[in-house]
Structure 1
Amino acid sequence: MTNFILTATLILFSLSVQSQPNLSLKFDDIASGKVFLINKQNELIDTLLINSGNVTYDAIIPTPTLFYLIVDGYNTKRPLPLVLSDQLTEIEFKNFKEINENSVNEAYPNRPFFVLDPNNNAAFYEFLSNWKHFYNLIEKLSENDSPEQLEKRKNAYDSFLSQNKQIIKSNSDQYISAIIIDFLLRNNLLQIETLQEYYDELSLSVKGSYMGFKIGEKAGNAGRLQPGQPAPLFELTDSEGKNYNQQSLTGKNVLLHFWSSSCAPCIKEAPDLLKLSRDYANNLVVINISLDTDNERWITGIEKAGIGHMINVCDMQGLNSVIAKSYDVTFIPVYYLIDTNGNISLKGTLEQVTEKAKNGMP
């Protein structure tokens, strides 16, 4: 009899543990409809029904995982990122708005109110506020490219990075910090040396997570292109119709500079790139490879950066271009220095390339 009672108790306890949901949503103005939850690790989609303004989600989530939340007919263009785990996340939404525009100004008007937030998702929405403020400020400061305006843009960018680093540092043991870094990477808002600094802030558990490992790869901790290896072959045609490949550049140091017109750090360091090109004109061939997908934006970007007299290449394929894939380009700006023997001498930042040049290359 005692064994029976003990077994029944264990079963009831097990059921009670299993029945605890991972997510609870409450809408004050949406009584019915559908919610889609997209698991960004495996891209599986769960469809949930809104019942009298309430939604619950119960699944096995052994480790913190990024999901995208979409309310059918409301925010398809701007899914809400949420990190869920085996602990309950409870959210309330007031006056959930339909998003018709895909602009940054219209982005994420539906801020969650977290009743329970074990994964500290609130930190991501604090970051989003910083991002929108930074974007709007840069828009206002982009009316012209006077030295004063350029300096203000640099200061705005530095301030933006400082704010975000503090958020990541304060949440170094939370998976959400890796999600913030990934967002910055996908929007070309981090340079390589900054990425490494951010990655170093993450705890060991976050570094070992799904997103942490991906960031580690991008930071160069598991990169396949290392100094001393033969540089991947390339065939490039510049804006003037001239062709470049390893054979035509034999015996020369070559710098492949991957950038785009929408990359704020790329534009920021253009003056330093120009100086490097001038200082080592007899010993270095610089090829600017844009990952733009629009010809007009590319041309405008060249003019804005002041690099029109240099070698400029773009096949309008973005990250899908052959050379971007060959050189494992997942974020910009990034530089590959190739020595006179056709081997990779350095993969890194403009600052690192400049230091290498000062020391005589390769």
Structure 2
Amino acid sequence: MKPIFKKYVFAALALTSGSLMAQNKSTFDAKGHINGLADGEVYLAYGNFINMKADTVQVKDGNFEFIDSVTEPCYGMLFNHDYTLKVDLFVDKGNISIQGDIDSAYDIHVKGSPFVNEYATYNQAVNDTKKPVQAIYEKWIAAYNSGDSDNVTKYKAAFNSARNKQAAEGAKLQLDFIKNHPNNNASAWELFHYLNEKSLEKSKSMFAGFTDAVKNSEQGKEVSNRIATLSRIEVGHFAPGFEQNSVDDKKITLASYKGKYVLLEFWASWCEPCRAESPNVLAAYKKYKNNGFDVLSVSLDHIKKNWETAIQKDGLLWTQVSDLKGWKNDVATLYGVQAVPANFLIDPSGKIVAENLRGDDLNKALQKFLINKQ
């Protein structure tokens, strides 16, 4: 059975293979046996969000073994090339046992240190919430393949309902784990993925409850830095200033937009949701540009030609800037952007007044700020 869920899809699976840290390393031995796992390569990615390492070993008769070292307990993901095997785990010094069956992907058992076991128990509970959704999904696909349109409709509705229920259950399990394991680095890992602009205050409180060891871990430091970044760009705060080059290599500053409402939009030519949203932004630009509104787009592209082609094809009329560093774009880093599309609406004084406005929400916000206040 191939799970329909992939818990974390990280930019790290461009997998930088640099070392996690140089000091105080401890050896781990992760030995596994997965019934039915085909001979070939299996991979273990482990580390924190910014610094992720990947190892590769060969599977023989379902058996495999990873021996390496870590400086502290850290997140790991075991997987094969087609994700028929995907196991979230925590990696810690000492022996780690991974046992299961390829046809029961949500029931692969991981055992090791107390940190490893605590996360394994949590992860199994999360997987248990996914099983009913998987079962309905398989019935939906079977109905589709057999041309049973009545059951396709029935199971599609049931799948969406079950998935929403699973998301709520998974979120509760995540928060309970974070709160109940303040001394486990895994809580910092989970908090990093829970943390966003809407959950900032709650996340600050949970981070404050961590032990000093977790706060000062590499993962804890990432959470602390993320909290600091999101705190800097909260609605009501002045937008951080920056300078970046336009397509025609002119230096553009955010400060030059003072006196206008400006939508600071983060996108990329390769981002389909961004391109799908572009017509909405273009319509808003045309509608409100004579009312003191402008758009400034920051591209997370690497290749200038792709960026230029997308601008031309989509008919984007406002200023575009980029440093062509992709996800490492300096402005995106400054604003804590980890997914695109993303945007911030900034008022004439330079304060952020709204964020992540999509669809009609953008039009409503501009109506509120530009028309109703006149």
The answer on whether the counterparts of 1:173 and 1:206 sit within 8 Å (CA) in structure 2 is no
How far has the Cα of 1:274 moved from its partner? Answer: 0.9
Counterpart check, 1:355 vs 2:373: no
CA distance in 1, matches of 2:128, 2:46: 16
The answer on whether the counterparts of 2:58 and 2:64 sit within 8 Å (CA) in structure 1 is yes
What's 1:340 paired with? Answer: 348
How far has the Cα of 1:49 moved from its partner? Answer: 8.1
The answer on whether the counterparts of 2:266 and 2:298 sit within 8 Å (CA) in structure 1 is yes
Counterpart check, 1:292 vs 2:263: no
Counterpart check, 1:204 vs 2:204: no
The answer on whether the counterparts of 2:273 and 2:341 sit within 8 Å (CA) in structure 1 is yes
Report which of the two has the higher share of helix. 2
What's 1:38 paired with? Answer: 45
How far has the Cα of 1:24 moved from its partner? Answer: 3.8
1:288-346 per-residue CA deviation (whole Å, 9 max, x = no partner) reads: 21111122221232234331x22122221112111111111111111111211122222
1:126-161 per-residue CA deviation (whole Å, 9 max, x = no partner) reads: 69x99xx9xxxxxxxxxxxxxxxxxxxxxxxxxx9x
What's 2:78 paired with? Answer: 69
SS in 1 for 2:105: strand
SS in 1 for 2:256: coil
What's 1:217 paired with? Answer: 195
Q: Provide the aligned C-alpha RMSD in A.
A: 4.4
**Correspondence 1:49-198 to 2 at 5 A:** 53-55=62-64, 67-69=76-78, 75=81, 80-84=85-89, 90-93=99-102, 113-114=104-105, 116-117=107-108, 118-119=124-125, 120=127, 123=130, 166-167=162-163, 169-170=165-166, 172-174=168-170
CA distance in 2, matches of 1:215, 1:28: 30
What's 1:100 paired with? Answer: none
What's 2:324 paired with? Answer: 316
The answer on whether the counterparts of 1:83 and 1:121 sit within 8 Å (CA) in structure 2 is no
Amino acid at match of 1:318: G
Return the match for 1:232 from 236, 240, 247. 240
Amino acid at match of 2:301: D
The answer on whether the counterparts of 1:88 and 1:116 sit within 8 Å (CA) in structure 2 is no
Amino acid at match of 1:38: A
The answer on whether the counterparts of 2:299 and 2:322 sit within 8 Å (CA) in structure 1 is yes
What's 1:257 paired with? Answer: 265
Amino acid at match of 1:344: I
Amino acid at match of 1:287: L
Q: Which consecutive residues of structure 2, in runs of 5 or more, have no partner in the other structure?
A: 1-29, 68-73, 109-123, 142-155, 180-186, 201-229
Structure 1 residues 234 and 204: CA distance shift in structure 2, 3 A: same
CA distance in 2, matches of 1:69, 1:359: 49
CA distance in 1, matches of 2:245, 2:289: 20
CA distance in 1, matches of 2:301, 2:106: 42
What's 1:301 paired with? Answer: 310
Q: Which consecutive residues of structure 1, in runs of 5 or more, have no partner in the other structure?
A: 1-20, 59-64, 94-111, 134-159, 175-198
1:23-56 per-residue CA deviation (whole Å, 9 max, x = no partner) reads: 64235653xx885533345857788886754358
CA distance in 2, matches of 1:315, 1:232: 17
Amino acid at match of 2:236: G
CA distance in 1, matches of 2:106, 2:275: 42
What's 1:327 paired with? Answer: 335
1:71-130 per-residue CA deviation (whole Å, 9 max, x = no partner) reads: 6xxx4x97953124799864335xxxxxxxxxxxxxxxxxx5438344528959969x99
Number of residue pairs the alignment of both structures matches? 257
The sequence identity of aligned pairs, in percent, is 24
The answer on whether the counterparts of 1:207 and 1:216 sit within 8 Å (CA) in structure 2 is no
SS in 2 for 1:346: strand
SS in 1 for 2:88: strand
The answer on whether the counterparts of 1:289 and 1:312 sit within 8 Å (CA) in structure 2 is yes
SS in 2 for 1:280: helix
SS in 1 for 2:266: strand
Using the size of structure 2 for normalisation, the TM-score is 0.54
The answer on whether the counterparts of 2:260 and 2:293 sit within 8 Å (CA) in structure 1 is yes
SS in 1 for 2:195: helix
CA distance in 2, matches of 1:216, 1:115: 22
